[in-house]
Structure 1
């Protein structure tokens, strides 16, 4: 039996559906059927009992599945180890994130990455809004998942992997907090806090506008350095800050409220990496995360 035939048999044994098996393996259902019939002819007995509605393994099929699975897994692991070594997918991959939901996605990807590339360790760390691209530029990170847009010399913006509805974080006693939703025009009624340090002006123009769509000025609140300051300053009634609406599930903080926007664009999060000096392990992680989120990885 050829390796591909074994793979088709094992996937069908898991899915028990010719269509789903074909979809997983990117082949046609007729190809699946042809391979299974060929294997059954070689063995001399049916491996699957088929009706118009169901597919199930015969006892012989179950024993063959149980015997083949461990060997198939060992072969896959051996090939992946060889590929990882050939491509240099070893060592430590350092990945930054800007929000807890980005961290959750990276942790999920890390588990799959470690299963595929056992010789590579992934280290994940938070980046701060006051210096959102500094660690990547200084070589402290290989990749990061953070807010877009990004137009930085020496940094490549890869695929957008998250797109989140936008909300405004406001003091719980602010009039906006009593509303079910708000518009961009309402920003004229509350001071927006801003990150200090090296937060790019082009990002501020997108996320922290100075005027509403009709041209009304949006007041400015305190300048902050770390995210924890935002929560404290908002709770103290000193300003507001635009965030992902998903933040309601992450920040249980007294004195704050999240008000969804009706008309604001979503907050998009994308992968970033150094334009020069990126590593095979970083690009392998980009590909895996793109597969995980159903996005298309950008060209290296």
Structure 2
């Protein structure tokens, strides 16, 4: 039996309808009938009992289905795995996350990517240089905040968009508010991470002034996120953050107050220029197709 003959037979054995089988296999109904007739001539007996109202497997057809289906599934699986391996899709895709909590927020995408033969390994990017592991080849892709304008990196699809909040100490006057504005940043010291990043990256509005031109005071920088939050809790200053921080870093000494007028922030998939592996391309295609 040819592969296509087996496929037609098994599809008809499942559908028990010549028209639906033809639609499923994208062939004509006559092609299905001809294939089954040829098989029945070869076996010398009917595989299906037909009437004007129904199609049913004969005992011989049922036995052939039971014998063929598991073997055919194994063959199809082996072929699919060989194709995937040939294209470099099998195996582990290491992805660094600037904020590990984002991995939870995009879990549906990661689950859609995973198969029995391929997986995503979530890594935490270096807090002081989020590009380091990507540039060193330790990971194949990075999920980081936009904007990214690095000549050696490619920016792929956005994976998550979320509002901004302002982290303040619970005793801070802002902690009693329902919201804050960007202009409020001029009323305190703004803390940030100690990251060797270009000027375009995630500082308050350049050149450290509010939209109305009021100067913003830079505070000290911090090597870890927990140190940054500890400084906020101690009243050293305030810090604008992506909104998911309110869920992932809740502590009794820090309040996360929503911004009323700050633009949302976006997280995107980034990879090395010229280094888009088949796995990275597959994940990026899934992300681009997601609603």
Quote the residue 2:18 is aligned against: none
Quote the residue 1:113 is aligned against: 113
- Work out the CA distance in 1 between the residues paired with 2:225 and 2:243: 16
Q: Given that residues 166 and 257 in structure 2 are in contact (C-alpha distance below 8 angstroms), is that contact kept between their aligned partners in structure 1?
A: yes
TM-score (norm 2): 0.73
Q: Given that residues 96 and 139 in structure 2 are in contact (C-alpha distance below 8 angstroms), is that contact kept between their aligned partners in structure 1?
A: yes
Partner SS for 1:203:
coil
Q: Given that residues 192 and 228 in structure 2 are in contact (C-alpha distance below 8 angstroms), is that contact kept between their aligned partners in structure 1?
A: no
- Work out the CA distance in 2 between the residues paired with 1:8 and 1:263: 60
> Closer, same or farther in 2 for the Cα pair 1:84/1:229, shift >3 Å?
same
Q: Given that residues 157 and 287 in structure 2 are in contact (C-alpha distance below 8 angstroms), is that contact kept between their aligned partners in structure 1?
A: no
> Closer, same or farther in 2 for the Cα pair 1:95/1:137, shift >3 Å?
same
TM-score (norm 1): 0.71
Q: Given that residues 113 and 119 in structure 2 are in contact (C-alpha distance below 8 angstroms), is that contact kept between their aligned partners in structure 1?
A: no
Q: Given that residues 187 and 218 in structure 1 are in contact (C-alpha distance below 8 angstroms), is that contact kept between their aligned partners in structure 2?
A: yes
> Closer, same or farther in 2 for the Cα pair 1:176/1:260, shift >3 Å?
same
Q: Which runs of 5+ in 2 are unaligned?
A: 16-22, 37-47, 57-61
Quote the residue 1:189 is aligned against: 187
Partner SS for 2:95:
strand
Name the structure where helix makes up a greater proportion of residues.
1
Count residues in correspondence.
Answer: 263
Query: Aligned-pair RMSD on alpha carbons?
Result: 4.0
How far off its partner does 1:74 sit?
4.3
Q: Given that residues 171 and 237 in structure 1 are in contact (C-alpha distance below 8 angstroms), is that contact kept between their aligned partners in structure 2?
A: yes
1:279-290 pair list within 5 angstroms: 279-290=277-288
Q: Which runs of 5+ in 1 are unaligned?
A: 13-30, 50-57, 295-300
- Work out the CA distance in 1 between the residues paired with 2:244 and 2:274: 34
From 133, 138, 141, the equivalent of 1:140 is 138
Partner SS for 1:182:
coil
1:155-174 pair list within 5 angstroms: 155-174=153-172
Partner SS for 2:78:
helix
Deviations 1:214-233 (A, max 9, x none): 11111122211111112211
